[in-house]
Amino acid sequence: MDNPVLETQLTSAETEASVRPRRLALTLLAIIGAFVVAIAFITIFRPPDPYIGDVLRLQGSAAQGKVIFQMNCATCHGLTGDGLVGPNLHHVSSRKSRIGLIQQVISGKTPPMPQFQPNSQEMADLLRYLESL
């Protein structure tokens, strides 16, 4: 072509035509990425069941939790959580999340720990006590 203005216009139109699909693809990737992040956030931070949600919404009492611990847990974990048959529970909240601690207590999935499901307030109290160890 001998017309530089026409060549510039064609080059600009060709560039725009090749950039548009890339912009669309990047926009779609951003939307999909945001959706994946939102699902991950909901999955990670949503309590897995209503019982756990109830426990986490309650304010626990470490003093009441200690009584519950001594009645139900001290036989294996020691009066102060130092461990006997069961493991030492001091600083357990640095090794397990709040949800993980609740699930551990109520599941009984780690033999020989028995399944134990106190009511929501008792579990909140026990959780507060475990966090104080």
| Amino acid 84: pLDDT | 87
The structural architecture, per CATH, of the domain 50-132 is Orthogonal Bundle (1.10)
Cis? peptide before 112, omega within 30° of 0: yes
| Amino acid 10: pLDDT | 55
| Amino acid 123: pLDDT | 97
| Amino acid 34: pLDDT | 82
Compute the Cα dihedral for 119, 111, 65, 123 and give only its sign.
negative
| Amino acid 76: pLDDT | 92
How does DSSP classify residue 15? H
Q: Mind listing the pLDDT tens digit of every residue in the chain (133 residues)?
A: 566 655 555 566 566 666 677 777 788 888 888 878 777 676 666 656 899 999 999 999 999 999 999 999 999 999 999 998 899 999 999 999 999 999 999 987 887 888 888 999 999 999 999 999 9
Type of residue numbered 17: A
- Distances from the Cα of 89 to the Cαs of 23, 63, 104, 122, 131, in angstroms? 54, 16, 12, 18, 9
